[in-house]
Amino acid sequence: MLLLLLACNACAPPADPPPQDTGEPVDSPVDSPADTGETGETGETGDSGDTGDSGDTGEPPEWVDVVKGTCQAPEVLADEPMELTGSLMLTQTKPGGFFVELIDLEVQGDRVYGVGQGGLMVYDISDPTLPALLGVYPTSENHLGIEARFHRVEPIGDGIVAVTHRENGLSIVDVSDPEVPVLLYSDESAGGEGLAFTRGRLFVSSREEGLFVYDVSDPTSPVLKKTLAGLTNTWELAKGQGWLYAADSVQGIVPIEVNDPDNPMMETAIAVDGRVLHTRYAQGRLLASLGSAGLAIYDTTVPEAPTLITTLDTSGSVLMADAKSDYLWASDNEGVTVWDFSDTADPKPLGRQVSEQFALAIRAGPDGRAWVGDWNILGDWSADLTHLAGQLQLSGDEFYLDTEVGYVDIPVTNQGGAELSFGEFSHGGSGTLRMQATSLTLASGETGTLRVYTEDGAEGEHLLCLSNNDPSQPTLDIAVIVGAGNSHLGKPAPDFALSDLDGSEQRLSEQLGHPVVLSYFATW
């Protein structure tokens, strides 16, 4: 795990950092891929945690009181629009350090192929509610070394899959018998990342050299047919109709014609607002996951020049998206979001749930189902387009109320398909708090604000309960910490000193005018 803190005494706000290297749950400004993204959650006063169009007109809001009471849940609630219907946490079934870190998934029939720090994992999903681990490659129980890690996986037929790792290159593994996986081919050239198998060819994007095209008709001896320069920092390849769309975190979306697969033609890159962490072609649309900039949907009627239709937001940083059977799914590190995708030009919010760990990878299945790589968990999620309900999302789970300010604003979004309404609130702890809202109801997709005031300056921790009509959390707990000086945004960072790797003391005040990044690495 990696934790990053930013402190700056006199500098402009930093731009979004590049995506991180291994799918860790927190961003790194040094390494990359899309595998983890940003948490989008700070809990600081003044942080909007923007998750959608707030409808801000520039006029001050007219606040309304949220009644203080017993926080009683509504007697009648709508059906859940989405739920986790099955899961497997591998650290429970394989004790002793089997660390999974699922960062990419592919589904074929009743098999899910997943990769991460645990290597290549093969799951049986013939019963979606009871996923089971069938086999792992490498077979060693020690999955903590780089040689066991993979970043991308792509089935190429007959129980054979290709996997990449940017340090170890391309490998091809026969998992037709997942209990006895067989390595068929390995090329340890560094830089391999994105994978796509289409038109009888395996395409591999390299971070150093562009695009490689292999004939893998004999998977034990792939034949390099073409090398194409022009890609910069590509994490994934989406398969379209005679086209690939590379997720290039520097250039944007790079269209590549592959109608003649041995002679691909690269077109002009499409600039995006943000960093492209992942691409997927589904239901006739190109999906581009842009981290904190959201999920972009493109029309590919002109395949060499995709045009932006709309951008969707979640409460986190969108890492991966997929669609099938009129359901559009996205994972954003913090949870899973689903939209009604029956009109691909105008997706409608359906639901969102926070996942147990870190939702990094997602693949849509038939009939409103999706498979989610939730760090150490493979989860089966289901949604129902006929179940419309309000879905309450906050910008964090802990908020700091500065007594010098007197209140804290908590952005809230309705990410469900029906109106969200607030009931009453209660709170524990000493002192007196009261709550107001920009509105007691939020339409589907609408963002508002809850404002919590302290009336007597009492410091300490307060647990607020807010009743609402979200069937998944009809009584929502919100932690508010009241104290002087709790509002840090917009103020100079307090001075501190830490030792670097050489043992030398580094003091923040000596770095005046420069951004400072603190990186804390776990020992794994």
Q: What's the CATH code of the domain at 252?
A: 2.130.10.10
> Does residue 447 share a domain with residue 376?
no
pLDDT value at residue 24: 40
Same domain, 190 and 64: no
Q: Are residues 56 and 13 in the same domain?
A: no
239 and 366 both lie in a single domain: yes
Per the structure, the complete domain to which residue 319 belongs is given by 82-383
**Residue 457 belongs to a domain with what CATH number?**
2.60.40.10
Residues (pLDDT < 50) of the chain are: 1-55, 96, 523-524
Instruction: Dig out the tokens for 212 from the structure.
Output: 């490689």
* Residue 93 sits in the same domain as residue 191: yes
CA–CA distance, 423 with 66 (Å, rounded to integer): 7
Which of 352, 383, 414 is at the close of a domain?
383
Q: 235 and 344: one domain?
A: yes
Q: Within this chain, do residues 337 and 431 fall inside the same structural domain, yes or no?
A: no
Residue-wise pLDDT for 188-218, tens only, equals 776 788 999 999 999 999 877 789 999 999 9
Q: In this predicted model, what pLDDT tens digit does every residue of 101-148 receive, in sequence order?
A: 899 999 999 999 999 988 999 999 999 999 999 999 987 655 555 567
Same domain assignment for residues 104 and 165:
yes
Residues 230 and 350 in one domain: yes
Count of domains for the chain: 3
Q: Say which residues have a Cβ less than 8 Å from residue 45's Cβ, sequence separation at least 6.
A: 399, 400, 401, 402, 405, 408, 409, 486, 487, 488, 489
Q: Per DSSP, what are the bridge partners of residue 370?
A: 364, 381
pLDDT given at position 141: 54
Q: How high is the pLDDT of residue 483?
A: 87
Domain final residue pick, 316, 348, 383: 383
The predicted pLDDT at position 488 comes to 63
**DSSP secondary structure letters along 219-246:** TTS-EEEEEE---SSEEEEEE-SSEEEE
Q: Does some domain include residue 371?
A: yes
| Residue 441 lies inside a defined structural domain of this protein | yes
Q: Is 40 a domain residue?
A: no
Asked if residue 304 belongs to a domain, the reply is: yes
Domain finish residue from 383, 401, 425? 383
Q: What is the pLDDT of residues 444-469, one digit of tens each?
A: 999 999 999 988 767 888 899 999 99
Collapsing DSSP to helix, strand or coil, 148 comes out as helix
pTM, rounded to two decimals: 0.82
Find the helix or strand (DSSP H, E) in which 431 lies.
none
For residues 198 and 262, membership in a common domain is answered with yes
In a domain, 517, yes or no: yes
Domain match, 55 and 136 both: no
Tell me: do 453 and 421 sit in the same domain.
yes
